[in-house]
Structures are given as C-alpha cells and as structure tokens.
C-alpha cells in the first residue's frame, strides 16, 4: 500500500468553488480514503497528503492497516478492528496501565511527576459530569520515555490511549475535558491543552467516520463528549437507540461536518446510519492522493471472515456484508449491487484515481469471492 502523490490534477481543481471546510474535514477524507465506489454529482476535492498521514495513523491504531516500511502499508480491513480493540484492551489491563480513583486527584502516571515534557505534569481528575462511570485505568507509560518523546506525542499512540479509555472501562460517555485531561495531562497549561485537544478532534473525526465513536454532549452540563459505539452485539442496540434520540442535539465528529445533510447546513438533520453508509459512495478526492495496494490478502480475508459475525461495521463496510447471513435480503441486496455495478461506471479525471478505483475493484472482487462465496462481479470496470 504505497502512499503516492499525484500531480496530474492541478491543485486549483478544488478551489474553483467556494471554500468550505466541511468538504475538507478529516472525517470526509477518511470516508473517501475507504470508499469503494464513486458517486455522481460530487465535485472533485483535493486530498492533501499531510492529512492522509493523520488518517493512516489513526487507522493503524485500530488495526485497519499496518505500516510496513516507508511509504508502504498493509491493508488489513475492518475485520481486523475487533482483534485490534481486544489487543488494546488486553494491553490496557496489562502492566502498562494502572488504575486510579477517578474521583480523587490521582495522576495518570507515576512518572508524571518527574517528566520533563510539558505533557507529563500532574493530572488531577476533575469531578464528573458524565452519567456513566469513568475510566478506571489509564496508560502508565504514556509519558514515561524521554527517548521516544516524539512517539509519545504521536497521533497513533494518542488514538490507542483514547480507545483504551473506553475499552478498558465501563465508560460509554466521556467528556472532552476529561478525555483531554486523562490523555494529555498538564491540564493547567492551557496552551498545551489547546494543542492536544486539536489532536483529539482529529482522532475523533476519523474514529467517528468509522462509527466507532460519536460526538455528543454530557446530559447535565451539555459539555461536548465522546460516546463509544464500538463494535459487537450491543452496537446494534446502541445504534437503534441513537436513532431514537434527537439527532439535532448531537453530532458525530466528522460525519455531520462533512455530510451535506449536516446540522450546520440547517437542512436535513437526519444523519443516521444510512446516511453514513451513503458516505462510502462519495467522491474520491484527488490531489495528493493515496493509492492502496493490498499487500496482505490472506490476513485481510482472514479478518474479514471473522469480522462479520462479531463486528458492527462502520459506514465503509462492504454494504452487503451484514446481509451475508441474512439470506432473503441478501439475495436482493446482492442483486442490487450487481445491478449497480453493471450500470454504473465512475469516470475519473486522472490516472491516479482510476488506479485507485481499480485497486478497490480488485479488492472487492477478491473479498466478494472469498466471503460471499460468489463469483466476482464481472461488470465492474
């Protein structure tokens, strides 16, 4: 999975239109990164290479891909997420974590006291405003190494620690403030906190676009908070419950911002799972784009096999995946896809994007054959 930039598309391609940060959000970039199919009627939007690094780091943290070497990544797929989360959970419960009393002024780490880094000062946990229990464990070694200072501040590690806050505890809702304090420390340094909170937003955008978390508010204080959606049996119930809520009062990071039906547009405010799924059909952005090569098909397919039964896929999951074991609907859905594939052939504006689509096509064929047990759709080209 080489990262490569394309210069074939003028940078100005994305600037013929009125600028909108919604179209540039990390969440929609992540969506497009994982998109299998294109869709008509969406303007080309540039993907800046720098943003791809952010997305890749977060995706790697939850097991979707693995960095092999410089400019080389192995795509593992969404089926790898459950295992990655399980690993994070185990890692969290291992010696790397220590428990603390959330209602006390316990610190994140024993080493925080003598840490030279601005992240490493004491970290009092404030009183709670969340309706759920708080994390009972945090990463002990988060600020422990002076040698690997850069790594400590990496988006990837921050992502993993963020996820651990949820998977290693009963926490379902965590306020932004608490998350920042738990993960970043040095709460009294507003400048540093501001910087780190920016990263938290970056992470939240990507995780939200994967449907692993959503942005909401605490019930009592209405402070911004993260709700863990995760995966597994309960995810369906949670999704259903979430749909019953007033969607206008909460917003998923990345999704709403990048969705045309977003609250910010004051238009259609129903941004449900179906909408999220629709995002996967959006336009691939091409400026400095990423081409994806499946370097490890075996692991990918293996993950895919185990995934569907236990994992609630996000908006980028193969659309008919959930229906594989659901025979009746499955027939219809698959038929729809075949119909769609046979009638719709996206037209790309440059070779790089065309190559990317070709890859996705091949990946889809392979997956479809392996998991769905059918011959690949031949019409896609």
Partner DNA sequence: TCATCCCGCCAGAAA
Partner DNA sequence: TTTCTGGCGGGATGA
| Minimal distance, residue 38 CB to DNA, in Å | 21
In SS3 terms, 235-265 reads as: HHHHHHHHHHCCHHHCCCCCHHHHCCCCHHH
Residue 205 near DNA by CB under 7 A: yes
Which residues, 56 to 115, sit near DNA by CB under 7 A? Answer: 56-57, 67, 69-72
Please say whether the beta carbons of 178 and 126 come within 8 A.
yes
d(CA 237, CA 52): 32
Among 35, 109, 160, 262, binds DNA (CB under 7 A): 262
CA 88 to chain centre: 16
| Minimal distance, residue 239 CB to DNA, in Å | 20
Among 264, 305, 309, 374, binds DNA (CB under 7 A): 264
Q: What are phi and psi of 146, to 5 degrees?
A: -85, -25
d(CA 188, CA 176): 15
DSSP bridge partners of 226? 174, 215
With respect to DNA, which residue has the nearer C-beta, 314 or 318? 314
Among 24, 76, 181, 238, binds DNA (CB under 7 A): 24
Residue 213 near DNA by CB under 7 A: no
With respect to DNA, which residue has the nearer C-beta, 27 or 307? 27
Residue 293 near DNA by CB under 7 A: no
With respect to DNA, which residue has the nearer C-beta, 15 or 309? 15
Q: What is the DSSP string of 74-128?
A: EE--GGGHHHHHHHHHHHHHSTTEEE--TTTT--S-GGGGG--STT-S--PPPPP
d(CA 344, CA 366): 20
Residue 155 near DNA by CB under 7 A: yes
Q: How many residues interact with DNA (rule CB under 7 A)? A: 52
Residue 282 near DNA by CB under 7 A: no
| Minimal distance, residue 302 CB to DNA, in Å | 25
Among 16, 41, 50, 95, binds DNA (CB under 7 A): 50
Work out whether strand 137-139 and strand 213-217 pair parallel, antiparallel, or are unpaired. unpaired
With respect to DNA, which residue has the nearer C-beta, 159 or 171? 159
Picking from 30, 95, 97, the residue whose alpha carbon sits closest to that of residue 60 is 30
Q: What is the DSSP string of 250-308?
A: ---TTHHHH-TT-GGGTS-----HHHHHHHTTSPPP-SS------S-HHHHHHHHHHHH
With respect to DNA, which residue has the nearer C-beta, 288 or 323? 288
With respect to DNA, which residue has the nearer C-beta, 184 or 380? 184
Residue 171 near DNA by CB under 7 A: no
Residue 284 near DNA by CB under 7 A: no
Site string for DNA, 223-242 (x = CB under 7 A): -x------------------
| Minimal distance, residue 15 CB to DNA, in Å | 9
The token pair that represents 345 in the structure block: 């052939």
With respect to DNA, which residue has the nearer C-beta, 218 or 320? 218
Residue 154 near DNA by CB under 7 A: yes
Identify the H or E element spanning 160: helix 155-167
Residue 341 near DNA by CB under 7 A: no
With respect to DNA, which residue has the nearer C-beta, 137 or 192? 192
Cα distances from 351 to residues 32, 75, 227, 378, in angstroms, run: 17, 21, 40, 21
Residue 185 near DNA by CB under 7 A: no
3-state secondary structure of 138: strand
3-state secondary structure of 130: coil
| Minimal distance, residue 70 CB to DNA, in Å | 3
| Minimal distance, residue 250 CB to DNA, in Å | 10
* Contact footprint for DNA (CB under 7 A): 3-5, 19-22, 24-27, 48-51, 53-54, 56-57, 67, 69-72, 150-151, 153-156, 176, 191-192, 194-195, 197-199, 201-202, 204-205, 215, 224, 253-254, 257, 262-266
């Amino acid at each position: 999975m080489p990262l490569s930039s394309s210069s074939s598309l003028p940078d100005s391609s994305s600037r013929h239109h009125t600028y909108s940060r919604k179209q540039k959000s990390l969440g929609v970039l992540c969506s497009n990164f994982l998109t299998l199919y294109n869709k008509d009627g969406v303007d080309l939007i540039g993907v800046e290479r720098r943003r791809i690094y952010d997305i890749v780091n977060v995706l790697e943290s939850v097991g979707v891909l693995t960095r092999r070497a410089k400019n080389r990544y192995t795509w593992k797929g969404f089926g790898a997420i459950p295992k990655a989360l399980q690993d994070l959970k185990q890692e969290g419960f291992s010696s790397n974590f220590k428990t603390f009393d959330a209602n006390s002024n316990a610190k994140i780490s024993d080493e925080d006291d003598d840490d030279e880094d601005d992240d490493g000062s004491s970290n009092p946990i404030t009183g709670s405003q969340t309706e759920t229990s708080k994390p009972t464990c945090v990463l002990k070694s988060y600020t422990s190494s002076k040698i690997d200072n850069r790594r400590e501040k990496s988006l990837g590690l921050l992502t993993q620690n963020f996820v651990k806050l949820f998977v290693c505890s009963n926490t379902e809702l965590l306020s932004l403030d608490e998350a920042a304090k738990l993960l970043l420390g040095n709460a009294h340094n507003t400048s540093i906190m501001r910087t780190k909170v920016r990263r938290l937003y970056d992470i939240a955008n990507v995780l939200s676009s994967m449907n692993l978390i959503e942005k909401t508010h605490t019930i009592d204080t209405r402070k911004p908070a993260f709700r863990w959606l995760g995966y597994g049996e309960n995810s369906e119930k949670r999704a259903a419950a979430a749909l019953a809520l007033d969607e206008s009062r909460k917003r998923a990071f990345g999704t709403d911002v990048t969705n045309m039906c977003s609250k910010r547009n004051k238009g259609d405010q129903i941004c449900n799972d179906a909408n999220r799924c629709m995002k996967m059909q959006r336009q691939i952005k091409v400026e400095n784009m990423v081409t994806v090569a499946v370097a490890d098909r075996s692991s990918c397919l293996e993950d895919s096999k185990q995934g569907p039964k236990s994992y609630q896929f996000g908006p980028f999951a193969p659309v008919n995946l959930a229906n594989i074991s659901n025979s009746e609907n499955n027939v219809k859905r698959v038929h729809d896809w075949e119909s769609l594939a046979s009638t719709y052939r996206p037209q790309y504006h440059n070779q790089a994007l065309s190559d990317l689509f070709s890859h996705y096509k091949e990946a889809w064929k392979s997956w479809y054959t392996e998991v769905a047990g059918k011959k690949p759709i031949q019409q896609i080209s």
